[in-house]
Amino acid sequence: MSAPPILAARGVTKRFGGLVALDSVDLDVPRGVVQAIIGPNGSGKTTLLNALSGASHADAGSIQIDGQELFGLKPHRIARLGLARTFQTIRIFNNLSVIENVKVSGACNTSISLFGIVTENARQKQREAEIEHRAREALEVVGLGGRANDRAAQLPYAQQRLLEIARALASKPDVLLLDEPAAGMNPEESRRVGETVRRLRDRDESAWFELLNQL
């Protein structure tokens, strides 16, 4: 393969006290592929994902996205550089509507101007319109367009998972990490998630990266 990988990790190590959860993990993910990491419970899949996304930093190693070093950066900086993720246990924003959930990450590379917000000037309106557009697009991809104005907490479980995927998509990531996206779903629902992921791969040049639990 000649193209440089979009995500490259070298020697990623994570210890919890005396337990070495990740022992010098090397990883290359090329663009435009879906890759899965499988392993039994406790094998360190989520730990690896947390280390990559900055949620819980690795103790050592190098993680690069498109040539940019991520190691030690705060999670929001990593998100802005193009790495998005979902969570194994759902973490949606319950006090926001469905579309507002997605807008949160849709705004990740838009600057905040207090003056603009207070005066609602033309630039601010344009910013909000762009965020709205990006959020609607992401909701349509996962098929939640019809529920945009519902409270996120009112969605059934499977749709909350789809909402997390939409939220991750709205930041227009280069790399998307899905942590057990089909956990707790029935076969029909997990088939739909699989379809969504495939559709995304065909549409975009980004890399998708799934964590599956071996059952």
Partner 1 sequence: MCAIAVLMMPLVTHDGYVIQLLNIAMLNAIVVLGLNFATGWTGQINFGQAAFYGLGAYTTAIATKAGLPWISTPFLSILVVVAASIALGLPTLRLRTYYLAMTTIGFGEIVRLIIVHWEPVTGGTSGLRAIPGISLFGFGPQGQIQHYYLLIAVLAIAALVAARIRHSSLGRAMIATKDSEIAAEQSGVDTTRTKLLAFMIGAIYAGLAGCLYASSVRFISPDSFSGIQAVLLMTMLIVGGMGSIAGCIIGAVTLTLLPEALRFLGQWYLVLYGLGVIVVIVLAPGGLASIASEMRLRLASAR
| DSSP 3-state of 26 | strand
Contacts of 63 (CB under 8 A, 6+ apart): 7, 8, 9, 10, 12, 51, 52, 69, 70, 71
Residue (30 or 200) nearer to partner 1, CB: 200
In the complex, the smallest distance separating the C-beta of residue 142 from partner 1, rounded to whole angstroms, is 15
Taking the least distance from each CB to partner 1, the nearer of 6 and 152 is 152
Nearer residue to partner 1 within complex by CB, 92 or 162 = 92
Least CB distance to partner 1 at residue 136 (A): 15
Residues that bind partner 1 in the complex, under the rule CB under 8 A = 53-55, 74-76, 78-80, 84-85, 87, 91-96, 100-101, 103-105, 107-110, 112, 114, 117-118, 120, 124, 127-128, 131, 167-168, 171
Which of 94, 186 has the CB closer to partner 1?
A: 94
Cα 187 to the chain's mean position, in Å? 23
What's the distance, CA 145 to chain centroid? 19
* CB 60 to partner 1: min, Å: 22
Q: How many other C-beta atoms lie within 10 A of the C-beta of residue 211?
A: 22
Q: How far is the CB of 185 from partner 1 (least distance, A)?
A: 20
Q: Which residues pair with 82 in a beta bridge?
A: none
DSSP state of 144: -
Nearer to partner 1, 30 or 90 (CB): 90
For residue 145, the tally of other CB atoms under 10 A from its CB is 15
